[in-house]
Amino acid sequence: MKSITAKGLLHKYTEGTCTEEERYLFEQWYADFNRAERLQLTETDLEETEQEIFNVLMDKIQQPKRVVLWPRIAAAVLLILSVGGYLFMQHRTTSQTDQSQIDQAIVPGSNKAMLTLSNGKQISLNDAQNGTLTKEGNQLVKKAGNGTVSYESNGASDKSDAITYNMINTPRGGQWSVILPDGTKVMLDATSSIKYPVRFIGKERNVEVTGQAYFEVAHNPKMPFLVKTKNQVVEVLGTHFNVNVYTDEPSSTVTLLEGRVKILKGLKKAILKPGQQALTYNGTNNINVKQVDAENFVAWKTGRFFFNKADIQTVMRQLSRWYDVKVSYRGKMPQQQFNGDIQRNLQATQILDILSNYYDIPFKIEGKKIIVGE
């Protein structure tokens, strides 16, 4: 049994010094609080304290994009403290996902990918030794210990006009990074791929992407960089942006962090500025541009899930890809929309505890399958 005062826990949480267990307890308490509304704070109470408390928290936070998930709940905690109340939290030895299922630990994803060479040979990158893997033309293909493949010229000239391609695919529960021959850095999320030439020649640099990828494109105004997906083309000169084109999602997004990109879909086009996102719904050519907090949409590459007004199906699609599990649904699904930021290195059972409390529905694990509802 472990008791923690709200003041102490909230301080550690906002400073980013709490342990994974304490972070999990805080997030689980939030889900309990939100579901049961056990403190019965009025909207007026919250509105009167929220802005002042939020400003205090912002002054304290060392990593503002990572720490505070729900400022309103943090405000509620401090409101309790202001009248002398204390929050006691205990780490339960049983959970709503059933303790007997903890042994069936569904672990989070890791660095896993397959490299397909121009001759069709495949190399399991997570199993390969660090160092030079092979040679493609005049390019040495190297693996680093941090889950990255890179291409370096061996100094020999290559006057061939033939374009040969490599491809990297990540499985469910996998991620990988690649530094392309031009110096462009790409990080792939789970169930994603990138196809690219081992040497960029001609007037354009063309790559093809599926799933989700984050790009830091090497600047070369004489050779624009084009990212082709199933339904659109992203054209850039040098910039940082994220592409999410999962086929099981209802829409595709391109989110720009810095630089400038042009989106082409059918006869439609749009130009993005930093902090903007282009959203296109599957089956249409319309491109909707909106202002967003771009860092939230690349949270995955820093080890976080980010949910913004997400329904249960949206949440579970992300968990399914990252934890390599299948998901099925039973009964009536909840209508609440989930907002928050959860670490991707937690065990699946920990995340399901949070979601179970928030949505007030049970989750059951059967092998590599999660059953939502009763």
Mean pLDDT of the chain: 81
- Do 328 and 274 lie in one domain? The reply is no
pLDDT in tens, 298-307: 999 999 999 9
Exposed (0-12), middle (13-18) or buried (19+): which is 178, by Cβ within 10 Å?
Answer: buried
Whether the CB-CB separation of 314 and 308 falls below 8 Å is answered with no
Of the candidates 280, 231, 216, the one whose C-alpha atom is nearest the C-alpha of residue 252 is: 280
pLDDT in tens, 21-54: 666 666 655 555 544 443 445 555 555 555 555 4
Which domain CATH number covers 133? 2.60.120.1440
| Rounded (5°) CA angle 89-93-94 | 105
pLDDT in tens, 133-179: 999 988 999 999 889 999 998 877 776 778 899 999 999 999 999 99
Exposed (0-12), middle (13-18) or buried (19+): which is 321, by Cβ within 10 Å?
Answer: buried
- Do 122 and 270 lie in one domain? The reply is yes
- pLDDT score of 108 more than 90: yes
Q: How far apart are alpha carbons 71 and 74 in whole angstroms? A: 5
Sign of torsion, CA 298 304 305 308? negative
Which domain CATH number covers 364? 3.55.50.30
| Rounded (5°) CA angle 318-290-342 | 30
What pLDDT, on a 0 to 100 scale, did the predictor assign at position 176?
A: 98
Whether the CB-CB separation of 298 and 321 falls below 8 Å is answered with no
Q: Which of 238, 263, 297 is the C-terminal boundary of a domain?
A: 297
Residue 335 domain-assigned (yes or no)? yes
- Do 22 and 137 lie in one domain? The reply is no
- Which residues on adjacent β-strands are paired with residue 174? 110
Residue 255 domain-assigned (yes or no)? yes
What secondary structure letter does DSSP report for 296? G
Residue 44 domain-assigned (yes or no)? yes
* Number of domains the chain is built from: 3
Residue 363 domain-assigned (yes or no)? yes
Whether the CB-CB separation of 331 and 324 falls below 8 Å is answered with no
- The residue-averaged pLDDT of 186-210 equals 96
Indicate the SS3 state at residue 230: coil
Q: Which of 263, 297, 331 is the C-terminal boundary of a domain?
A: 297
- Do 208 and 330 lie in one domain? The reply is no
Residue 303 domain-assigned (yes or no)? no
Tokens describing residue 203: 């007037």
- Do 260 and 182 lie in one domain? The reply is yes
Of the candidates 169, 279, 187, the one whose C-alpha atom is nearest the C-alpha of residue 232 is: 279
- The residue-averaged pLDDT of 119-134 equals 96
- Do 359 and 231 lie in one domain? The reply is no
List the end-to-end C-alpha distance of the chain, in Å, as a whole number: 30
What pLDDT, on a 0 to 100 scale, did the predictor assign at position 154?
A: 83
Q: Which domain holds residue 138?
A: 110-297
